[in-house]
Each structure stands twice: as C-alpha cells, then as structure tokens.
Homo-oligomer: A and B are copies of this chain.
Amino acid sequence: MTTANTGNNLDPWYGHYADRTAGLSASEVRALFAVASRPEVVSLAGGMPYVSALPPELVSGALERVMRDHGPEALQYGSGQGTPAIREQILEVMALEGIRASVDDVVVTTGSQQALDLVTKLFIDKGDVILAESPSYVGAIGVFRSYQADVVHVATDNDGMIPESLRETIVHTRAAGKTIKLLYLIPNFHNPAGVTLSWARRLEIIEIAKANNILILEDNPYGLLYFDGPPPQAMRSVDTDGIIYLGTFSKTFAPGLRVGWAVAPHAIREKLILANESAVLSPSAFTQNVITSYFEASDWRAQIDTFRGIYRERKEALVSSLSEHLPDLTWTNPDGGFYVWLTLPPQLDSKAMLPRAVKELVAYTPGTAFFANGDGRHNIRLSFCYPTPDSIRLGIRRLTKVINGEIELLDTFANTGQLEIVKSSDRVTSPPPNIN
C-alpha cells in the first residue's frame, strides 16, 4: 500500500508509486544547469573528466583490436560478474593503492554509481542509517535516499572524517534506536570537500567500524589522480572482511563507457553478482573489452600521469585565483582529484546566489547538494577538472564580482536592519559545516 506519494493530480498514476519514490527528487538546480551549459558560461559545477586529453588514436586502436580479436564475444551478453580479463586488469590497477585481491572478489558494474546502487539495495531497509562524511557525494546521497536510508553526517575536517565524531555519532544514532548499516567514505580527494583521510585516521576508523560491527563502503574514484605524491593506501589494503571497495575507469580512462567495480567480502560479492544480473543481466561486454584492449596495449600509467599534470595545473589556477581575488574566504586545497570546497561569509546563501552567478556567466554547485540535512548553504563546490586554466581564472573573477556584490547588498540591508531576521534563522537552521 502506498502511504507516501510524489507527483500530482495531473498524473493519473499518482497513488500507484512505491513509498520509496518519495526520496526521488530532481535537483533543485537542474533547470539552472541547463542554462549553465551554454558555451559562454564558465562552469565550475560539473564533474566531467577532461576526456579530450585521451589520445583518440589509443581509443581507436583499442576498438579495432576488439573487433578483430573479440567481436562476437564483445557484442554478446556476458557474465554478470564481468569478464575475467577486465577483472585481472582491475587487480593491477588496485595494486597501485596497496590492494591485494583475487579476480573472484571483483564484480564489474555499469560505472561505480551502479555499484553504489546495488550495495544500497542489498543492505538498506527503510529507515536504516548510513553514516557519511559532512559533506558527502551528491550521487551517493541520492541513491541512499532512493532506498529510504537515513543519511547521518559525521563531522569532517582537513584530514577527513573525525574519528571521535564518528564514535559519538554511532552512540547517539544507536541511542535513538536506529540501525546503522553502512559507513560511506571517500578517503581520497573527497567529492566535494577536496580533503584526504589521513593514514592514522584510516586505521582508527577501521577499528571503530570493526568494534561496532559496521560495514565500510570505501568509494575511491580519484585515488590515482594525485598531484605531487600518492595518498595513503586504500583502507581495503588493511582490511578485507569489513570493507566493500568501489573503483571506476571513469577518471583514469573515460566515463562514457560506464565501467566501474566493487570488491567485496565473499558472501556479499555473491549477492552483488545476483543483484547485478537482476538489474542489467550483465555489464556491457563491449565496453569491458574496449577497456581491456586499451589497458593491454597502451601505457596507461603514462596516460594517468598526463591527466595528473592537467588537473594539477587547473587546481593551481583555481587556488591561486581564489588567493588573489577572495583572500578573506577559506577553501580546501586538495592534493588530487577534481574539487575545491569554498566557504562563503556566513551571511551569503550559495543556492540563493546561484542565479546571479549564472547571470554573470559562471556556474558552481551549491553546498546544500552535498548534505542530506539542509546544511551547506554557506558553501560552494568548485570543480577544476573540465575548464582550462584561463577559463578557471575568468570564472573566479566573475564569481568574485558576484560574491562581493552580494556582500555589499546584504551589508546595505543589514545596516537598515531589514535582513536581521533572515540572517538569524539562517544561522539556526544551517550551521556552517566543519570544513575549513
């Protein structure tokens, strides 16, 4: 029986939807992003890898070899677990982050997003709690909600999730009678926070999870995209029984092929394969074969180095622009990945400000997208992965104009006293997150 519904009376099937569709909602800024995709807008909003840096001839070569050597297999249905060849290669990629596993441990998915979906489907009953960093990945929050999970954020600083806060959150959550099913973490170059979980904290958090019988979901899309030196090794490198690890080829190769993976303890992995077969029968044999051929024949490590150089240059452009134009604000300075997390003055609301930013031809993602609880109004995620350094600098100049204009406007109103009520309620409902 349906107790909660979305939709309206113009929908004749209103009343037929499952309860869980109440958690399914379009991003409030989706319409704006359609506008923001105009070429004259500098978008610091998306998370698109810079695939143009992938030499087309390497991809074309892989395609030719697939058709020459594996055509009928690549065009056919495949295994629900993924091809043995790509699972071998995934082991090689993960070894770079200290992970040792067997080909049997790997389940190939339609991007790591689908792995998030399958894990959530396997573990979450309505009202179960998933603990996550504060802030957390918008796409994960969306999946968790779509299975009616209750996402509880754990305080996070420049070294990632704070172990003491995790302990306290577990105690409080259980005292409230709730069941904690998963601890979701992005340890490396966090999306959106741009921070990296320190090695000491990785070990401490693994111990806390073990002591509390909580399964860790380690999501690592960016680990190989470090700027100067590699991040600490994966949490999965020191714990094989209590962690589901997620990886992807979207950032080291190309997201358009939609190939990611999960590594999970034996019994969970068996269920993941069944869930995968139920959802899509098998992941694309074609795109798996393309990736296998590319990794076999190309110097993929050198290509990742190329990506690193590009993203490092863009990060520097972003951070030096912020230093120059917005020296009074604070932001994270990531050691890799795609994102910087900017904290606005407390009187500014990042979501309310977005239309004005788009009018000034610069787009960003408001911090509220990364919280399940309404926080993040004073934050902005800035992506440096896709625009060129010059575009990034232009975008920050435009953003500076918007921010300064907002401050000036609000100060004018504040001096008249008219905005005091708004500012107070703002402080109460939306404290700034613990990212500096």
Contact = CB atoms under 8 A, between A and B. Distances in A.
A413 interface: no
Given A75-B257, A123-B17, A114 B279 contact: yes
Contacts of A285: 256
A426 to B, nearest CB: 29
Nearest to A279: B117
Nearest to A66: B63
Contacts of A282: 258
A265 interface: yes
A416 interface: no
A271 to B, nearest CB: 6
Contact of A10 (B124, B257, B267): B267
Contact of A72 (B16, B51, B76): B51
B51 A60 contact: no
Given A64-B60, A125-B19, A256-B74, A24 B278 contact: yes
Contacts of A268: 11, 13
Interface string A1-18: 110001110111110111
Interface in A282-302: 282-287, 290
B271 A6 contact: yes
Contacts of A278: 24, 117, 139, 142-143, 146
Contact of A76 (B6, B20, B255): B255
Scoring A14, A59, A77, A179 by chain B CB atoms within 10 A of each residue's CB, the highest score goes to A77
A54 B114 CA distance: 30
B59 A117 contact: no
Interface in A47-65: 48-49, 51-52, 54, 56, 59-60, 63-64
A275 interface: yes
A215 B71 contact: no
A142 B76 contact: no
Given A215-B16, A279-B117, A75 B142 contact: no
A425 interface: no
A388 interface: no
Contacts of A270: 26
A231 to B, nearest CB: 24
Contact of A142 (B6, B12, B52, B277): B277
Nearest to A241: B12
A74 B54 CA distance: 12
Nearest to A144: B278
A279 B260 CA distance: 13
A179 to B, nearest CB: 6
Interface in A21-69: 21, 24-26, 48-49, 51-52, 54, 56, 59-60, 63-64, 67
A411 B54 CA distance: 68
A280 to B, nearest CB: 5
A265 B110 contact: no
A36 to B, nearest CB: 15
A60 to B, nearest CB: 5
Contacts of A143: 278-279
A76 B59 contact: no
Contact of A256 (B13, B125, B284): B284
A80 B230 CA distance: 33
B14 A267 contact: yes
A242 B13 CA distance: 9
Given A16-B215, A77-B256, A117-B278, 12 more contacts: A1-B125, A6-B271, A7-B271, A11-B267, A12-B265, A21-B122, A49-B76, A60-B67, A75-B254, A76-B256, A77-B250, A110-B280
4 smallest beta-carbon distances between A and B, as pairs: A11-B267, A75-B254, A256-B285, A75-B256
28 contacts: A7-B267, A8-B267, A13-B267, A13-B268, A16-B123, A19-B125, A24-B274, A24-B275, A24-B278, A26-B274, A49-B76, A51-B72, A52-B72, A59-B67, A59-B71, A73-B256, A75-B256, A76-B254, A76-B255, A110-B284, A111-B281, A113-B279, A113-B280, A121-B146, A143-B279, A146-B275, A258-B281, A258-B286
